[in-house]
Amino acid sequence: MKPVRVLMFARYLPPEYSGAAAQAFLLAERLRARGHHIEFTTHSWSGQRRDYVIEGFAVTALPMRVAARHQEFSIWHNLFKHLWQRRRHVDILHGHGAYYIQGILGPFGQLLGKPSLVKASMSQNDLLSLTCSTIAPVHRRFLKLVDAYVAISDDLNREFLEVGLAPERIWQIPNGVDSERFHPVDREQQRQIGAELGLPVDRPMALFVGVFDQRKRIAWLVQQWIANQGFGTGAHLVAVGPVSRDSYGKALSDELHAYARGHPDLVTIRDFTPRIKLYYQAATLLVFPSSKEGLPNTVLEAMACGLPCVVARAPGSRQLVEDGVNGALFAVDDADDLAQALGKVIGEESVLGARSRQIAVAKYDIEKVADQYECLYDQLLSTHER
């Protein structure tokens, strides 16, 4: 298709950590390689406008009234001014998130004569205000003016339908993974990488990757791993992630590090690193207890690295793992069920991990995902020009 100019709007972009932002930049890189122009807009958490560059992409962080009860009014005001200024340089408005704030792209797109789409990031989250909030009528009106909705999972596809949005506007396009960057290594390389990272190499390694927050259930996992002595797996649990931006974030991180200091034979806690690929390649399996997801990057990356995945049976996550195929599922916050799931995987890591890799490449490779977005962009532009 001919080059398209896309403005992507997201609530959190680096330096703020966000899985949705990581997906946005991964997609943007692939689209740029195909000749498309991508620029990013967000709002500034300092309140002051900031223009900067991330991975070669221009980012405009718009000013907002940080202390205001309704921050969205200043966000929308400044966003419209920015879109008006950029109107001759942009073809499509692409929102990362289908929340109330990103929903404004619908009416703004109508005013500017630009097609718009919003991608829902998380199950039981983006669309929640449509059923249990005073802003529901406004949020619904905004979304009805959006031209396309992207559901990254079966759960989100169902949620779009359940809230009464037009089925013909829903596109199910998953999150993607760079299967060239995230790939398996042989046993000797695995040991070398583990040693370089300062991790035990004479025993299995169970890996958790994700923000250290309450939704990810990392504290529960560490507590249960210690209380149950690794559930008889003989595996060392390594948890890698950034501190949550929520108010409890530092306290939770301190708690996790204290557990690790008290039980160094069972648990290691590490700060998040851009070299996260090495942790996947050093690991034996992934353990992911999160209670709610969209389509988690962590599980996709682990699968691409050939890891069997032991994952909580939660919205978003459960789509990626099938018992006995590429891992095992367990009930959220159920230690007995986790023990059974681990029992299904230990001893079968090689077979289950190979299937993980096959599924990741066949269904979720970022090139295939970029193909689907090009089809969506093409249809939106074709429809808009009629």
What tens digit of pLDDT does each residue of 230-282 get? 999 999 999 999 999 899 999 999 999 999 999 999 999 999 999 999 999 99
Q: What are the distances in angstroms from CA 222 to CA 91, 217, 229, 266, 286? A: 47, 9, 10, 9, 14
Residues of the chain with pLDDT under 50: none
**Cα–Cα distance, 129 to 145 (Å, whole number):** 17
Query: 112, 89 in Cβ contact below 8 A?
Result: no
- The domain spans of the chain are 5-176+365-385, 187-364
**Which residues share a beta bridge with 41?**
9, 60
The confidence score (pLDDT) of residue 361 equals 98
**CATH fourth-level superfamily of 5-176+365-385:** Glycogen Phosphorylase B; (3.40.50.2000)
**Cα–Cα distance, 267 to 150 (Å, whole number):** 38
The confidence score (pLDDT) of residue 386 equals 61
Query: 78, 43 in Cβ contact below 8 A?
Result: yes
Sheet order of strands, 92-96 included: 50-54, 57-62, 37-43, 5-10, 92-96, 116-119, 148-151, 170-172
What tens digit of pLDDT does each residue of 7-23 get? 999 988 887 778 899 99
- Name the phi and psi angles at 95, rounded to 5: -95, 130
The confidence score (pLDDT) of residue 64 equals 87
Give just the sign of the alpha carbon dihedral 117, 121, 123, 126: negative
- Name the phi and psi angles at 119, rounded to 5: -110, 120
Tokens standing for residue 349: 């890591």
The confidence score (pLDDT) of residue 24 equals 97
Query: 175, 369 in Cβ contact below 8 A?
Result: yes
Altogether, the residues listed in the chain come to a count of: 386
DSSP symbols for 18-60: -HHHHHHHHHHHHHHHTT-EEEEEEE-TTSS-EEEEETTEEEE
Identical fold between 5-176+365-385 and 187-364: yes
Query: 319, 295 in Cβ contact below 8 A?
Result: yes
CB under 8 Å to 373, separation ≥6 — which residues? 27, 31, 173
* CATH class, 187-364 region: alpha beta
